[in-house]
Amino acid sequence: MLIKSVTVGPLQVNCFIIADEKSKKTLVIDPGDEPDRIMDIINGNGLKVEYIICTHGHFDHVGAVSDLKKETGAKVLIHKDELEIYDAAKDMAALWGYDLDPLPDPDVLANDGDIIEAGDLRFEIFHSPGHSPGGMCLYGHETAITGDTLFAGSIGRTDFHGGDINKLKESFKRLMSLPEGTRVLCGHGPETTIGREKRENMFSGEFLL
C-alpha cells in the first residue's frame, strides 16, 4: 500500500492518496483544495483513481472534488447522511470568504459497514457523526483515516450546523476500540495512533468513562 499525503488550502487539510502498489488503483480522500498538487502526485506515480472519498462535506475537505472528478472520472463517495452538508458547501465557503466551484453529485452514498475496494485495498466505512451528521472514517490495513472526528490530542468541533457532541463522544469511543497500534491519519495536523490517543487525548478521560 502506497500512502501519499499533501496538506492543502488555507485551512491546511490533509488530503490522502492511497494506492494499491500492484494495480495502481487509488483512493483520494478529502481533496480540499489545490487540485494541481494532488494531480501531480497521481500522475507522477502513474495512479488510477477509483474513488474520491469525502470524510464529510465541509468546504475545506471538498474544494478540489470537481476538478479531480473531471481529471480522473473517479466516483465521488460520501456518507448518505452527509448530502445536506455536501450540497451546502459552496454557501458555507462563502460565509468564510472563499469561493467554491459547484460540486458534482455523489456517485455513491455510503452506509456504515460498507467496504470500499480498489485493487487489493479494502477499507471499511465507519459512520462517525458528531462533527457533521454524515461524517465517516475509513479503517483497513491497520490504518484509520478519521477526517475531523479525531485529531492528535483533540477532536473535531461540534458547533457547526449538524454538530452533536454526544454523537461525537460515541464516535470517539468506537475509534478507541480499534487495536492500539492502529495508525491514525487525521483531517488536520499530524498522524497518531489509537494507543497514543487513548493515553494522551484531552478528551479520553471524559469520553471513555
**Predicted confidence (pLDDT) per residue in 160-180, tens digit:** 999 999 999 999 999 999 999
**Predicted confidence (pLDDT) per residue in 188-205, tens digit:** 999 999 999 999 999 999
Using DSSP's 3-state secondary structure scheme, residue 175 falls into helix
Does residue 209 carry a pLDDT above 80? Answer: no
Task: Say what the pLDDT of residue 92 is.
Answer: 93
- Residues of the domain holding 165: 2-207
d(CA 201, CA 191): 13
**Predicted confidence (pLDDT) per residue in 63-105, tens digit:** 999 999 999 999 999 999 999 999 999 999 999 999 999 999 9
**Predicted confidence (pLDDT) per residue in 99-132, tens digit:** 999 999 999 999 999 999 999 999 999 999 999 9
d(CA 115, CA 102): 28
Q: Which helix (H) or strand (E) holds 48?
A: strand 48-53
Task: Say what the pLDDT of residue 13 is.
Answer: 98
Residues 6+ apart with CB under 8 A from 209: none
The residue written with cell numbers 468546504 in the block is 59
Burial class (CB in 10 A: 0-12, 13-18, 19+), 42: buried
The residue written with cell numbers 490495513 in the block is 141
pTM of the predicted model as reported, rounded to 2 decimal places: 0.96
Task: Say what the pLDDT of residue 67 is.
Answer: 97
* CATH label of the domain that carries residue 7: 3.60.15.10
Task: Say what the pLDDT of residue 27 is.
Answer: 98
**Per the structure, how many domains does the chain have?**
1
Region 26-40: what's the mean pLDDT? 98
Task: Say what the pLDDT of residue 23 is.
Answer: 98
Helical residues (DSSP H) of 45-88, grouped into ranges: 59-62, 65-72, 83-87
